[in-house]
Amino acid sequence: MYRSLFLKHFLKYALMPAWIAASAPVAAQSNLLNLYSSRHYQTDESLYANFTKQFGIKLNRIEAGEDPLIERIRNEGASSPADVLITVDAGRLWRAEQMGLFQPVQSKVLESRLPAHLRAANNQWFGFSTRARVIVYNKQMVNAADVQNYEDLADPKLKGKVCTRSGSHVYNLSLMSALIEHWGESKAEAWARGVVANFARAPKGGDTDQIKAVASGECGVAIANTYYYARLLASDKPDDRKRMADVALVWPNQKSFGTHLNVSGAGVLKHAPHKDAGIRYLEYLAGDAAQSYFAGGNNEWPAVASAPLNNRYLDAMGKFKADTLNISALGRHQPLAQKIFDRAGYR
């Protein structure tokens, strides 16, 4: 039901791409685009079809896991047919940039539509939807007042109550990178050591596993991305709905720098054979209709504030203050973030 309502909402806006009229023309536009994407949502089919309908550009795509796609592009080198890479997490996009896979894009559309903090400093890649990394707690085991900030996860009062996924996973590395930027290396490492001291069990599983562990009482508190939380809220499985009755969410650090954000993002590749079509596709993703669809397919928020999004599960989480740290920092500090986690025993 949600998917059909969302499709109806998307098509309503898809025929009104008013932003296009204000865009600068892209020279020598090609009629072909090769897209490498780690997105794998059925809802993207209409997103692709509408792009071809609007611009007459045929879209070929390769879909695979995030890291294998990046490695494939690197191995293909100058002979790669890929024009655009779409993947999740600023850390992965930064890694691809460091490998020399992207090229800078000059676009008045992207610069005017996307907030500066959701664009890489050199415009090699861009965030098109956002997700937040939040604190999830068991209402019977933990007082909400005790978990209002990321700092609280290292407080001894939570000893034996904290669950997370691996410290080597890019989601946690990106969070740690943000904390390094805000706090500095010394405080960030002290925090990591404090979190390790509070573990209920060794890190394992994904974010959904952490939320379920909180619901079952295996741990009292965990860190998870918001779209995993939304998926469980939207689940048609009775067990999932029962679990979520015992769980609540906190937007961390509302009185300081705000809740950590990450992105699903994309960039035009260095050896793109259809560069102009690649730029056109990124500009298309910045339009209101595509923004709503791109974000809604994974229970995320559009990067463009004006883009409408009809998602009652995100609405149920409430409003929050988001961290406006530039997403480039989430990648820049990742090597140090991994060293800190290793020193702290955060495996």
Q: pLDDT for 256-276, tens place per residue?
A: 999 999 999 999 999 999 999
Torsion (CA) 181, 182, 184, 189 in degrees, nearest 10: -100
Supply the pLDDT for residue 121. 85
Considering the four listed CATH numbers 3.40.190.10, 1.10.540.10, 1.10.150.110, 3.30.70.100, the one that applies to the domain covering 2-130+262-310 is: 3.40.190.10
Question: How far, in whole angstroms, is CA 127 from its chain's centroid?
Answer: 8
CA-to-CA distance for 128 and 263, rounded, in angstroms? 7
Supply the pLDDT for residue 27. 38
Domain assignments of the chain as residue spans, ordered by start: 2-130+262-310, 131-259+323-344
Given a cut of 70, whether residue 126 has pLDDT beyond it is yes
Give residues with Cβ within 8 angstroms of 127, minimum separation 6.
90, 114, 118, 119, 263, 264, 265, 303, 327
Given a cut of 80, whether residue 30 has pLDDT beyond it is no
Q: Locate tokens 């998307």: which residue?
A: 10
pLDDT (average), residues 314-333: 95
pLDDT (average), residues 231-246: 91
CB 205 within 8 A of CB 218: no
Q: At the fourth CATH level, which superfamily is domain 131-259+323-344? A: Periplasmic binding protein-like II (3.40.190.10)
CB crowding 30-41: b at 16 or more within 10 Å, else e:
beebbbbbbbee
Lowest mean pLDDT among 24-28, 78-82, 248-252, 309-313: 24-28
Q: What are phi and psi of 275, to 5 degrees?
A: -55, -45
pLDDT (average), residues 130-139: 98
Supply the pLDDT for residue 95. 95
pLDDT (average), residues 161-177: 97
- The answer for 28, left when phi > 0, alpha when psi is -120 to 50, beta otherwise, is left
CA-to-CA distance for 177 and 91, rounded, in angstroms? 9
CA-to-CA distance for 133 and 44, rounded, in angstroms? 24
Q: pLDDT over 70 for what percent of the chain?
A: 91
Q: Distances in Å between the alpha carbon of 258 and those of 59, 130, 142, 179?
A: 38, 14, 22, 11
Supply the pLDDT for residue 91. 94
pLDDT confidence bin for 4, thresholds 50/70/90: very low
Q: pLDDT for 33-84, tens place per residue?
A: 999 999 877 778 889 999 999 999 999 999 999 999 999 999 999 999 999 9
Closest CA to 91 of 321, 300, 328, 267: 328
pLDDT (average), residues 276-295: 95
Q: How many CB atoms lie within 10 A of CB 119?
A: 22
pLDDT (average), residues 167-182: 97
Q: pLDDT for 145-164, tens place per residue?
A: 999 999 999 999 999 999 99
Lowest mean pLDDT among 6-20, 89-103, 270-284: 6-20
- pTM of structure: 0.89
Given a cut of 80, whether residue 7 has pLDDT beyond it is no
CA-to-CA distance for 175 and 136, rounded, in angstroms? 15
